[in-house]
A and B are shown apart, each in its own frame.
Chain A
Amino acid sequence: MCTYVTVREPIEGSAKGPNGTWQHVSDVTVYFDHPVHTMADHTLNIDLANPAQGPAARVAIELTADSARRLIGAIQSALASAPLDLAAVE
């Protein structure tokens, strides 16, 4: 299926992308749809991108739904373990 559902948020950080170089990323796009590479009908897809640098300035991740949920849990656990003053909501 094509869900067409796409969620986009501004972000601030860096990602290691094409050619093994680090790049600033300003946008994240998240959607549950067809993967390009993963051998699954559908995956949770995450694009960490810097649109100002063109279409290739993108780090793409395709995870099965279960893997995506485990990633969410891992992120939340890591954030919860950090001292409040270091990981405060901005």
Chain B
Amino acid sequence: MSDLTAHTIKITGHEGADIEAYVASPDAGGHRGGVIVIHHMPGYDRATKEIGRRFAELGYNTIVPNLYWREAPGADPGDAAATVRAQGGVPDSRLIGDVAGASSYLRALATSNGKVGVIGYCSGGRQSVLAACNLDLDAAVDCYGAFVTGTPPDGFPLQVTNLVSQLANLRAPLLGLFGLEDKFPGPEQVAELEQILTEHDKQFEFHSYEGAGHAFFSVDRPSYNVAAANDGWEKIGAFYAKHLGA
């Protein structure tokens, strides 16, 4: 297990705005890939920062941007998530700008090998795919992101569209990790995504776990599924080693 250092910084996000981010990196020298962790809908919380530190322990420069910073700077993660949800969620254009800022930060590090991957959980899974359709990233991981395909609910304050029209522009290999018991995304939506990516001749690798529902990586929630999470971490490790390695 490698030693690491983690701290909170400000980065330049969408339209030049400063946003908060949590960064973690191995203490060892050398050059390495970077990972952007997109937090789940419940926000920039302790569990997401733990995920960031795990990627540093795995040997990557890691950044977790606080996507709710603008609406709720310094707020408790739950309060920030509630505020952003009530205001309609994070606009896609802003997400792309913030991930671009996080990517620039990682690539500018003296220890960067120039490669950057993205991973997102829950709503962040969809946002990971969104980022990989619009930015030059080297690998993307979608952990049970709803509404990459499928039809979102209509007429409510939280607006989200599917990404079907953007999937032809996917620029990075995609690893998808899903629970067969999940409803959003359900197996039929995962199958639709698989079909579309195949039609567009995209590079992807999907794994759907029996007995696992949504949020099976969440160690602090009842949805945590040890078998699915352990295998998922192995799949992520191999995927990033292949695409983000020197």
Q: Which A residues fall within an 8 A CB radius of B?
A: 1-8, 27, 29, 31, 33-34, 36, 39-41, 47, 49, 51, 54-56, 58, 60
A-B pairs with beta carbons under 8 A, tally: 88
Partner of A51, one of B86, B157, B182: B86
Cα distance A3–B41 in the bound complex, in angstroms: 11
A2-B41, A4-B158 are contacts. A41–B82 as well, Cβ < 8 Å?
no
Complex interface: chain B residues within 8 A of A56 (CB):
75-76, 79
Can you list 9 A-B pairs, Cβ within 8 angstroms, ordered by A? A1-B184, A1-B213, A4-B146, A7-B156, A41-B213, A55-B76, A56-B76, A58-B79, A58-B83
Pair A55/B222 contact, Cβ less than 8 Å: no
* Residues of B in contact, count (CB < 8 Å): 35
Q: Does any Cβ of A come within 8 Å of B188's Cβ?
A: no
Pair B85/A34 contact, Cβ less than 8 Å: no
Q: Does any Cβ of A come within 8 Å of B11's Cβ?
A: no
Partner of B85, one of A1, A31, A39, A40: A31
Q: Which B residues fall within an 8 A CB radius of A?
A: 40-42, 71-72, 75-76, 78-83, 85-86, 89, 122-123, 146-147, 152-153, 156-158, 160, 182-184, 213-215, 221-223
Partner of A4, one of B40, B152, B214: B152
Partner of B221, one of A1, A29, A41: A41
Pair B183/A8 contact, Cβ less than 8 Å: no
Give chain A nearest CB distance to B93 CB in angstroms.
18
Pair B222/A29 contact, Cβ less than 8 Å: no
Give chain A nearest CB distance to B38 CB in angstroms.
13
Complex interface: chain B residues within 8 A of A27 (CB):
86
Pair A6/B86 contact, Cβ less than 8 Å: yes
Partner of B75, one of A29, A34, A55: A55
Pair B82/A55 contact, Cβ less than 8 Å: yes
Pair A49/B42 contact, Cβ less than 8 Å: no
Cα distance A31–B183 in the bound complex, in angstroms: 16
Partner of B147, one of A4, A6, A36, A58: A4
Complex interface: chain B residues within 8 A of A34 (CB):
40-42, 122, 214-215, 221, 223
Pair A29/B156 contact, Cβ less than 8 Å: no
- In the complex, what residue of chain A is closest to B179 when comparing beta carbons? A1
Complex interface: chain A residues within 8 A of B79 (CB):
55-56, 58
Complex interface: chain A residues within 8 A of B82 (CB):
29, 47, 49, 55, 58, 60
Cα distance A54–B40 in the bound complex, in angstroms: 22
Pair A1/B86 contact, Cβ less than 8 Å: no
Known: A4-B147, A34-B223, A54-B75. 7 other contacts (CB 8 A): A1-B214, A3-B184, A4-B153, A5-B158, A29-B86, A49-B82, A56-B76
- In the complex, what residue of chain A is closest to B41 when comparing beta carbons? A2
- Residue of B81, B89, B147, B160 with highest tally of chain A CB at under 10 A: B81
